[in-house]
């Protein structure tokens, strides 16, 4: 009986040992995972520390740049202020010249418009005359064609009469009538040729008038372009605006491997804010 109880206790102890071994294995696994997480966290923390140190160094470098830049920028600002006051007088002079040129431009435009209207009226008048003469020419041509046809018919009739009458007296009268009809036909032909020549002359004159009008328009446009040249164009720059080119050049030389464009933009922004501040002045009075 005692032996049976001892075996039962031994089984319980072995079962408990098995459970404890599993628990110990599970705990060891958790400790291993926590160790890995700790190592990862440690590496991340070290990286953050390194990044923070790098940022601190960058901040120190930027502060040094600010300190080095202030004196040179102050001198440049002084020169820019002098240039501004000098250019202000030039701008006023250019504005006055622009007003005069604008008035002259307005007068020239009025003259050119008047000339264009006159040329257009003359062209319309000549066009109407040409159309009227062309219409009259067509009517004359139709009338001449009709008269020519009638004359030819009359000549044919006279030839028929001549064939029926063989007498000398009838032949002479008939020949005289034919000569008279031919003379009339020649006069009509000359009139028709004159009208055709006149039509050609008027057409050529209209073409020349159109060409003169186009030349006048081109000359007016060319005169206006010469009047409104690049010298009359005014360019205004905002006061306090900083030239970014010098910042870009300096930062590209000082930080060739870093983000020098971002540093340049920050420097420009800060300098523009300084210039906008009415309480800030780069020049100090030492007593």
Tell me how crowded residue 45 is: count the other CB atoms within 10 A of its CB.
Answer: 10
pLDDT tens-digit series, residues 135-156: 777 777 777 777 777 777 776 7
pLDDT tens-digit series, residues 194-208: 777 777 777 777 777
At residue 232, the pLDDT reads 46
Residue 141: which of 206, 210, 216, 194 has the closest Cα? Answer: 194
The DSSP code for 83 is: H
> Using an 8 Å Cβ cutoff, are 89 and 208 in contact?
no
d(CA 254, CA 247): 11
SS3 percent helix, strand, coil of the chain, rounded to 5, is 90, 0, 10
DSSP letters, 110-156, are HHHHHHHHHHHHHHHHHHHHHHHHHHHHHHHHHHHHHHHHHHHHHHH
Residue given tokens 């930080």 in the structure block? 255
pLDDT tens-digit series, residues 64-73: 887 777 777 7
d(CA 188, CA 64): 107
CA angle 250/253/256 to nearest 5° reads 130
Average pLDDT score, the chain: 74
The DSSP code for 232 is: G
pLDDT tens-digit series, residues 224-272: 666 555 444 444 455 556 677 777 888 888 777 777 778 888 887 777 7
Q: Please count the CA atoms within 13 angstroms of the CA of 33 that sit on its side-chain side.
A: 6
Comparing 10-24, 106-120, 229-243, which segment has the lowest mean pLDDT? Answer: 229-243
Tell me the mean pLDDT in the region 69-87: 78
Residue given tokens 């100090």 in the structure block? 284
At residue 287, the pLDDT reads 43
pLDDT tens-digit series, residues 164-216: 554 444 556 666 766 776 677 677 677 777 777 777 777 777 777 767 767 77
């Amino acid at each position: 009986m005692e032996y049976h109880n001892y075996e039962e206790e031994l089984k319980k102890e072995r079962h408990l040992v098995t459970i404890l071994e599993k628990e110990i294995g599970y705990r060891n696994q958790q400790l291993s995972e926590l160790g890995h997480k700790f190592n990862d966290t440690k590496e991340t923390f070290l990286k953050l520390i390194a990044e923070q140190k790098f940022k601190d160094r960058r901040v120190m470098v930027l502060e040094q740049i600010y300190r080095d830049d202030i004196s040179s920028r102050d001198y440049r600002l002084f020169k820019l202020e002098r240039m501004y006051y000098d250019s202000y007088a030039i701008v006023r002079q250019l504005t006055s010249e622009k007003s005069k040129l604008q008035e002259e431009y307005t007068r020239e435009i009025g003259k050119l418009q008047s000339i264009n209207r006159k040329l257009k009226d003359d062209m319309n008048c000549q066009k109407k005359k040409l159309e009227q003469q062309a219409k009259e020419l067509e009517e004359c041509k139709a009338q001449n064609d009709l008269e020519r046809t009638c004359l030819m018919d009359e000549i044919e009739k006279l030839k028929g009469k001549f064939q029926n009458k063989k007498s000398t007296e009838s032949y002479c009268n008939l020949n005289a009538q034919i000569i008279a009809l031919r003379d009339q036909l020649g006069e009509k032909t000359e009139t028709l040729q004159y009208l055709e020549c006149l039509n050609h002359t008027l057409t050529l004159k209209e073409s020349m008038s159109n060409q003169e009008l186009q030349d006048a328009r081109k000359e007016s446009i060319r005169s206006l372009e010469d009047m409104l040249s690049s010298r009359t164009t005014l360019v205004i720059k905002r006061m306090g605006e900083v030239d970014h080119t010098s910042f870009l050049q300096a930062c590209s030389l000082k930080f060739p491997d870093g983000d020098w464009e971002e540093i340049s933009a920050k420097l420009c922004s800060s300098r523009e804010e300084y210039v906008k501040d009415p309480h800030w002045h780069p020049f100090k009075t030492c007593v």
